[in-house]
Chain A
Amino acid sequence: MTRAVTPSGKTHLRRSLLFVPGSSPAMMMAAPFLGADSIVLDLEDSVPASEKDSARVLVVKALDSIDFRGAEKVVRVNSAGSGLLKADVEAVASRADTILLPKADVESLGRLAALLACAQHAQVIALIETATGLEEAFACARAARVTGLFLGAEDLTLDMGMERTREGDEIFYARWRVVAAAAAARVASIDTPYTDMSDEEGLRRDLQVTRRLGFTGRACIHPLQVEIVHEALRPDQAAVEWARRVIRADEDARAKGTGAVTLDGRMIDAPIVARAHHVLDRAATYERREVRD
């Protein structure tokens, strides 16, 4: 499972990224107690234009003052085209673990990297939410400091003139493309938030797609979504048991010097063994995190 490593050597598992408006002190204070792996203090869409200056100051003070209890401290800055990127980055870069760049593409990630020159530790998550960003997804994933790709389906469908539906068929290609690019670059892949906050069943159904496609995490826009995301992405007991049997069968075969090995009538080869190790690795990581929580 892809994780982000902070300068202090701390490893962040990015199953859930919880958005908190950068203009709301009460929500920022509550955020560390909601169990999210990453807390995104938002300076972009949740902050009205008239409050950008105020939110920037508040987020700086919050980063200096709040104990985020081990969660990754992410700040979503304003986009390169907003005219606010430089001021945002200069204010928060030395305090946050990670900068989330909206409307990311190769050019804007280059501008961000230049602005981050004095913040040695800062990581970047690229928010892929334009047609250009999607077409450049792999290059974005390989850009300087990038440790994650994040699909933003609402802005992407708007940019592409697509109809946005509850079923989400229209974003299947984008999801697939983002996961593939992130996997190829060995960075985290974060799925778009489920925007109907009152529909928990809908979120659970949609998370099956997140999981099947191999996303490493999902964005949350309401505290109630955090635990649902963790539950859905946790390897289930049957998968863990299967993985243990595969690894046992593989070890037995190696000990006996046998080439091919079968389990329940199916051939076990290198990719299957690797998948089994991946499942156990993920299960162990979840277990460690849950003990900590």
Chain B
Amino acid sequence: MNMGNEHEGWATGLASASAGSLLSGDCLVEVSPGAAGAGAVLTIESTVLRAYGEQIRAVVLRTLAEAGLADVMVKVRDRGALDFVLEARVKTAAARALSGGGSR
């Protein structure tokens, strides 16, 4: 899936990219450039959002910070992913976004 770079010119050096899947135990993470200075804007879709939404949010934000991404829009479609899976998918999507985008 190549999402293109709809937001080119917003956050420089960043493309749109995704990683993961919609299979059980996994999640699909989509990263795209956000407005400069807006910080990370998260959209989370999960059947356990009420119980684990904050935890998912914390993992995503921490992983984005480790990857050095600040002004981004991130959509997480969760299918029961554990923290390490979510972390891996965000890390890969971030790396792909920084290196030109797509889902490879």
Report A's interface with B, CB cutoff 8 A. 24-26, 29, 50-54, 57-58, 60-62, 64-66
Contact = CB atoms under 8 A, between A and B. Distances in A.
| Chain B CB within 10 A, most for which of A26, A52, A64 | A26
A50 B17 CA distance: 13
A54 B104 contact: yes
A57 B92 contact: yes
Given A24-B23, A25-B25, A58 B96 contact: no
B82 A54 contact: no
Top 8 A-B pairs ranked by shortest CB distance?
A26-B25, A65-B84, A61-B84, A50-B104, A58-B88, A61-B88, A25-B85, A54-B92
B69 to A, nearest CB: 15
15 contacts: A29-B25, A50-B104, A52-B104, A53-B95, A53-B96, A54-B20, A57-B88, A57-B91, A57-B92, A57-B95, A58-B89, A61-B84, A62-B88, A65-B84, A66-B84
Contacts, number: 48
Contact of B84 (A51, A52, A62): A62
A53 B91 CA distance: 10
Nearest to A65: B84
Interface in B85-100: 85, 87-89, 91-92, 95-96
Nearest to B24: A26
Nearest to B103: A50
A205 B91 CA distance: 46
B92 A25 contact: no
- Size class of the B contact interface (CB-based, 8 Å): 20 to 34
A246 B20 CA distance: 58
A64 B84 contact: yes
Interface of B: 19-20, 23-26, 81-85, 87-89, 91-92, 95-96, 103-104
B82 A29 contact: yes
A200 B98 CA distance: 47
A64 B85 CA distance: 11
Contacts of B83: 65
A260 B103 CA distance: 72
Contacts of A53: 92, 95-96, 104
Nearest to B104: A50
A25 B81 contact: yes
A25 B82 CA distance: 9
Nearest to B81: A25
Contacts of A50: 103-104
Nearest to B80: A26
A27 B89 CA distance: 16
B85 A58 contact: yes
Given A52-B104, A61-B88, 13 more contacts: A24-B23, A24-B26, A25-B85, A26-B24, A26-B25, A50-B103, A53-B92, A53-B96, A53-B104, A54-B19, A58-B85, A58-B89, A60-B88
